[in-house]
Amino acid sequence: MSEAVKIIIFVSIILFFQVGIFPHLEIFETYPNIILCSLISISIIGGFKKSIIWAIVSGLFLDFYSLNSVIGIFVVCLALCSYFSSFLSQNVFKKSNPLSIIPIFVLTIIFYDLSVLGLQAIFGFEARLKILTLLTNVVYNTIFTIPIFYLIKKNYAGKLRKI
């Protein structure tokens, strides 16, 4: 199977789960954000330079599909997350075992949630920090990021290094 077909399949699967399945699994106003999970995984495997394109494209997509009237909040947050997670994986948690990956997931998800809230507050949108929602979001997304990370590592690591 060619790499392009693999990428199309990957993006379709992500969209299907994000749009069709996960909204039914909502707990405390939150459900897994597979776009963020895959961005963190790509950042760890391929580094910032490989994940920035995914951050810009998916960020624009999220901006258009949000109620915010300002475009760019999610692009900026995902780009920052991309840098943050690749920085952590290359400088702080260098060992590539599950135990060193989990803190990167947890910290980046918290960083993402806080940066979205921060930017929304700066632009005058309603932004309330709900601890229970944040904690659920962190646990929920971390659980989903682990299999996504290994799926991307197994199928796309070679392609990510080549880009």
Partner 1 sequence: MKISKKYFVIAIVLMVGLIFLNLFPNISGFLKNLIFKAFSPIQEFFIKTGNNIIGFFEIIASIKDLGRENTELKQKNMEIEAELSKLKETERENQILREALNFSQKDTPLYEIASVVGKEIQGGGDWILIDKGSKNGVEKDDVVVSEGPSLVGRIFEVNNNFSKVLLITNSKSVVAAIIENKRSEGLIQKEEDGNKIFMDFVPKEENPKIGEKVITSGMDNIYPKGILIGKIESVDLSQNQLFQKVIIALATNFNKLEEVFVIKPK
How far is residue 127 from each of residues 18, 75, 76, 130, measured CA to CA in Å? Answer: 23, 18, 17, 9
Helices 73-87 and 34-46, interaxial angle, to 10°? 40
Note whether 104 and 44 are within 8 A (CB).
Answer: yes
Binding stretches for partner 1 (CB under 8 A): 15-16, 18-24, 26, 28-31, 33, 35, 48-49, 52, 56, 61-62, 64-67, 69-72, 75-76, 79, 86-87, 90-91, 126, 128, 130, 132-133
| Distance, CA of 35 to CA of 57 (rounded, Å) | 11
How far is residue 30 from each of residues 44, 73, 134, measured CA to CA in Å? Answer: 24, 19, 9
Q: How far is the CB of 153 from partner 1 (least distance, A)?
A: 20
Q: How far is the CB of 75 from partner 1 (least distance, A)?
A: 7
Residues paired with 30 in a beta bridge: 27
Q: How far is the CB of 22 from partner 1 (least distance, A)?
A: 8
Nearer to partner 1, 90 or 96 (CB): 90
Nearer to partner 1, 121 or 132 (CB): 132
Nearer to partner 1, 18 or 108 (CB): 18
Q: How far is the CB of 32 from partner 1 (least distance, A)?
A: 8
